[in-house]
Chains A and B, each alone.
Chain A
Amino acid sequence: MNKVAKMTAEITLQDAATFIWHEADILDRGDYDAWLDLWTGDGLYVIPINPDSDDYPNDLNIAYDDAGMRKMRVGRLAGGFAISAAPAAKTVRLNARFVLLEQAEGHALVRSAMHLTEDKFGRQRTFAANVEHRLVRTESGLKIRDKIVRLVNSDGVLTSISYLF
């Protein structure tokens, strides 16, 4: 396959699932530099509060990160100065129930279910979310352009979070 063909090749459900599991493994290991490398750099990482809106710039969100803010967030989590992340809660997450919402040449929008359990101070907490990944093919493989994490209790009373979804 030539380069152009590679870049425009279809992203299958299996490709997307494999990539999202790879990302989940990176996040559970807290390997945040590797996570930053998964992004194209021009998209957004958003954890909205309002379940009924996608007007993220004009809504208050839990996180609304461009590339610069993602880098700062990772710096905070990995820097050793944030008491809530030193140490952070340990996490185990599962992504499943993958659905291809859009598919075009070299692009895919995938929704999956995520369950995460965190452990700290001898207590466990769980989060459940619908996660949307907008994936694109690049010369260096699949990348995330945008990622929207819709926690099922996003507009409820949460607890402090010392890792990334």
Chain B
Amino acid sequence: MTLDTPATDRDWAALVDDDRVRTSMYKDPAIFDAEMEKIFGKTWVWVGHTSEVPDKGSFKTSWVGLQPVIISRDRKGVLHVLVNRCRHRSATVCEIAKGKTSSFQCPYHGWGYALDGSLRGVPYTEGYSADFDKSQMGLKKLKVDVYNGMIFASFDTDVEPLEDFLGNAKVWIDLFMKQGGGFPVKTAGEHQFKFPGNWKIQLENTTDAYHFPVVHKPFLQSLDAEGAEQFDFLEGDGYVEDLGNGHSVMVMMPELVDLEDDLDRDIPERFAALAETLRKDYDEDQVRRIVRAVGGTGFNLNLFPNAACSISFFRILRPVSVTETAIRHIALAMDGGPVAGNQMRLRMHEHFQGPMGFGSPDDAEVWERVQRGADGGPDLDIMVNRGDGLEKTSENGLPVGDVSAETGMRSAYQMWKRMMAQ
């Protein structure tokens, strides 16, 4: 009998070249297992937004890789991310997606845990010997940190500080959050769907402008002329910038990088009715700021390994298996902002996103086709060389390609390579 080669012994780095990756990256269960350990088990993973756990006692279930977790806010307001697994015999202690509670109780034998994960109650304690130490049997805790409302967690207690990990992406997160239009940004519902394909197919897509006019032609056909021109960004001055650590930004509409810039510009026709409604309650400066915010930003920020701030919403991926990925498209709204503005944001989100949107089903279809096609030509590679050799260098000393360059994918795969080699 031979033992399987331990995952750590394989030469994962050889799977990624600068401009292409091996097809097995989408297909090999051993690679997937190693990714769960070396990437999702180590780095900062996006788990939620602070508006999902607004109050003391608020909780929200989420995932870090394959592992179910609970985000909770304790009685002092401190955030915790806890593995959703009783320390006794592993039953989940919470199956409600979101709510408020004072504790989590295991349904199997009644073990009770506080909001910070500490074990409080064990029924019939006399059945345990004196050396049973409750203080060592709390829910497993992850390291937690928050940047501009986004909650990240890591299984690695020695992980680098979140701000260092985000690095050059931080200014883009700050720009993204300007779509509160002067109000705090809050989550406002979400679409969830899965597709039969590897998680990296979705990771690539968030910085793929090249597919937009092809896959999203029906969406473009449903816009007015002004909107269609705005989304015709392949002809424009957009760019994709490697931000380091696998993060990247794809700027599709450079005029919508900073939503507070140049607010005197004409209000697009499709927002005219909204502006008129807002004028009843807000002065002209606020009206322009809110209208601009409602339209969202002009960029997709991709945060390795599982999150994106995409134009006007959060796009969160969750690996389910080597050939299955679940995706959340989380809508955002202005907390305390005008009802008409928030309703328009919801309608715009429904238009493109979700299992029946005018965009997402076509994305899901081509991602599935990628996975199906990867059954052929195992000797062939996945090409991510578009724009390679044509890039400039950013102020941060990193590559910048034109809007349809695969610079963001190369950035993500280099980070993948770095983490898998550790």
Q: Which residues of A contact B (CB under 8 A)?
A: 47, 49-50, 57-64, 69, 72-73, 75-76, 79, 81-85, 121, 155-162
Contact of A76 among B188, B358, B364 (CB under 8 A): B358
A72 to B326, CA, bound (A): 27
- Indicate if B191 sits at the interface (CB-CB under 8 A): yes
- The minimal Cβ–Cβ distance linking A112 to chain B, given in whole angstroms, is 20
Known: A73-B358, A75-B218, A156-B192. 16 other contacts (CB 8 A): A57-B343, A60-B190, A60-B349, A61-B350, A76-B222, A79-B218, A82-B218, A84-B365, A157-B193, A157-B326, A158-B193, A160-B356, A160-B364, A160-B365, A161-B361, A162-B361
Q: Which residues of B contact A83 (CB under 8 A)?
A: 215, 362, 365-366
- Indicate if B217 sits at the interface (CB-CB under 8 A): yes
A52 to B23, CA, bound (A): 44
- The minimal Cβ–Cβ distance linking A122 to chain B, given in whole angstroms, is 10
Q: Which residue from chain A places its CB closest to the CB of B360 in the assembled complex?
A: A160
A75 to B221, CA, bound (A): 9
A62 to B221, CA, bound (A): 20
Q: Which residue from chain B places its CB closest to the CB of A157 in the assembled complex?
A: B192
- Indicate if B354 sits at the interface (CB-CB under 8 A): yes
Report whether A84 and B350 are in contact in the complex, using a CB–CB cutoff of 8 Å. no
A163 to B352, CA, bound (A): 15
- Indicate if B372 sits at the interface (CB-CB under 8 A): yes
Q: Which residues of A contact B221 (CB under 8 A)?
A: 75-76, 79, 81
- The minimal Cβ–Cβ distance linking A30 to chain B, given in whole angstroms, is 15
- The minimal Cβ–Cβ distance linking B223 to chain A, given in whole angstroms, is 10
Q: Which residues of B contact A72 (CB under 8 A)?
A: 222, 358
- Indicate if B378 sits at the interface (CB-CB under 8 A): no
Contact of B222 among A75, A85, A121, A157 (CB under 8 A): A75
A47 to B215, CA, bound (A): 24
- Indicate if B32 sits at the interface (CB-CB under 8 A): no
Q: Which of B216-248 contact A (CB under 8 A)?
A: 217-219, 221-222
A121 to B197, CA, bound (A): 14
Q: Which residue from chain B places its CB closest to the CB of A162 in the assembled complex?
A: B361
| Interface residues as binary, B94-119 with A (CB distance below 8 Å gives 1, 0 otherwise) | 00010000000000000000000000
With A49-B189, A63-B350, A76-B218 known to touch, is A121 a contact of B326 (CB < 8 Å)? no
Q: Which residue from chain B places its CB closest to the CB of A65 in the assembled complex?
A: B350
Q: Which residue from chain A places its CB closest to the CB of B329 in the assembled complex?
A: A60
Q: Which of B169-227 contact A (CB under 8 A)?
A: 188-195, 215, 217-219, 221-222
Q: Which residues of B contact A58 (CB under 8 A)?
A: 339, 342-343, 346
A21 to B335, CA, bound (A): 43
With A75-B221, A84-B361 known to touch, is A50 a contact of B356 (CB < 8 Å)? no
- Indicate if B347 sits at the interface (CB-CB under 8 A): yes
A161 to B193, CA, bound (A): 10
Q: Which residues of B contact A160 (CB under 8 A)?
A: 193, 195, 355-356, 360-361, 364-365
Report whether B189 and A60 are in contact in the complex, using a CB–CB cutoff of 8 Å. yes
